[in-house]
Amino acid sequence: MKEFLEPKEQLKIIKRGMSHLEVEAELAKKLTKNKDAKTPLIIKAGFDPTAPDLHLGHTVLLTKMRQFQELGHQVIFLIGDFTARIGDPSGRNTTRPPLSDDQVIANASTYKRQVFKILDEKKTRIEFNSKWLSPLTFDDVIKLASKYSVARMIEREDFKERLADGKPIAMHELLYPLVTGYDSVVLNADVELGGTDQLFNLLVGRDLMRHFGLEPQCILTVPILEGIDAREENGKIVGNKMSKSLNNYIGVEEDADSQFGKIMSICDALMWRYYELISFKSAEEIAALKAGHPKDAKITLALEIVERFHGEAAAKEAKNKFDSLFGSGNRSDVPKDAPTFRFSKTGLDGYPLVDALVEAELVASNGEAKRLLRQGGISVDGLRIEDVHHALISGEHAVRAGKKRWAKIVIAD
């Protein structure tokens, strides 16, 4: 338990993996007050129950909430059962259809079951915003609407784009940021968390709190997690956000074997991003993993994720199944007549895999090597590699290109 650490230490933990903080000096002041008075800050995060299943992309925000809990703060998991009936316009180029009451109730019940695989249930306060939004009269809504201008509202990027494209914006969509901002007023939040696509909505809440004479909340946004098919190009991760519709997701309630296998399929750069955003491991533990073999780090991440959602025994069993299917690095499936090639490390990271594939005559060119990597046609020590920048570290490796081309590649220091 990291309760009531020095504000600087708390900020170091809080800022890990974040995208935007508004305003750091204000948050530091709140944390100092928290430490002196030994009273927790109120941390709010809202989730509209728009789908029944959560995936790892949703857990980026939940992981940040968990960090606040471990620092001793009060987390409010706000289920937007009222706002889900409006439909969040964030990032949309068309009007989002509202959900029915039955859909909202069903989805909300599954949310409650899934989030406590990450959050500490004893330290989590669950609220439904219909509790205070449903009783509002039309007069109340008009008074609330008077506190924000139309000019400010259409500063939203998605609204501006739709206006420029001649696409309609319904009046109820303009109300969405107002009612979510009013949630912060009612809960008197010290900090509100959200994804980067929620920044405008969170800023509205900050402004409304000022209008109601409250100390404005600080805002912390977290990145949108890329799906498992994302790749590294020119030192950057390129790919779509994790989405069930794109079939590039890892579901919270997906079976253990699928979760383990999907984690093992991601590229190395994406693995480290997952570590930063959804792992409970400390920065020091992650640094130690970076000093070792990427495959070992990927196995550790897969075990952590599966254990979180299915338990330790299921995680170990998933690893054993994966090893039996894809090899555990013992190279027993390498043909006896596979040629051996020896290369010397060319840098701190090792020897470029693309170069090794060409020089070992497993492929005809660098272009073919990169194409096979992106298509998942290259494996090293039983592990599929799709990162075109992957480097082979010191030691012997069993490398396969396609289904039948094998080579033993030894990298010397």
Burial class (CB in 10 A: 0-12, 13-18, 19+), 208: buried
> Sign of the C-alpha dihedral, residues 155, 161, 167, 173?
negative
How much is the pLDDT for 101? Answer: 74
Rounded to whole angstroms, how far apart are CA atoms 279 and 348?
Answer: 26
Give the tens place of pLDDT for each residue, 98-109.
Answer: 667 777 777 777
Nearest residue to 315 via CA among 359, 369, 382, 261: 261
Give the tens place of pLDDT for each residue, 315-347.
Answer: 999 998 887 766 544 444 678 788 999 998 776
Whether domain 340-412 has CATH 3.40.50.2300: the reply is: no
DSSP-derived secondary structure for 2-52: -TT--HHHHHHHHTTT-SEEETHHHHHHHHHHHHHHT---EEEEEE---SS
CATH class of 233-326: mainly alpha
Nearest residue to 114 via CA among 257, 314, 310, 248: 310
Rounded to whole angstroms, how far apart are CA atoms 128 and 135?
Answer: 13
Give the tens place of pLDDT for each residue, 62-73.
Answer: 999 999 998 999
Q: What are the residue ranges of helices labelled H in 170-248?
A: 171-187, 199-211
Of the ranges 224-228, 229-233, 278-282, 314-318, which one carries the lowest mean pLDDT score? Answer: 229-233
Q: Is the pLDDT of residue 22 over 70?
A: yes
Q: Inter-axis angle of helices 138-145 and 171-187, to 10 degrees?
A: 90
Q: What are phi and psi of 127, to 5 degrees?
A: -130, 155
Q: Where in the chain is the domain with CATH 1.10.240.10?
A: 233-326
Rounded to whole angstroms, how far apart are CA atoms 338 and 170?
Answer: 65
Q: Where in the chain is the domain with CATH 3.10.290.10?
A: 340-412
Encoded tokens for 20: 């935007």
Encoded tokens for 300: 């550790």
Q: What is the pTM assigned to this prediction?
A: 0.70
Write out the H or E segment, with its range, that includes residue 411. strand 405-412
Tell me the residue ranges of DSSP E strands in 129-258.
191-195, 218-222, 231-233, 236-238
Q: Which residue has the higher pLDDT, 159 or 358?
A: 358
Nearest residue to 180 via CA among 130, 241, 117: 130
Q: 281 to each of 60, 124, 275, 276, 327, how far by Cα in Å?
A: 14, 21, 8, 9, 27
Q: 15 to each of 271, 283, 314, 381, how far by Cα in Å?
A: 19, 12, 32, 36
Q: Where in the chain is the domain with CATH 3.40.50.620?
A: 7-222
Residues 6+ apart with CB under 8 A from 182: 132, 133, 144, 205, 208
Q: What is the CATH number of domain 7-222?
A: 3.40.50.620
The whole-number average pLDDT for the span 151-175 is 81
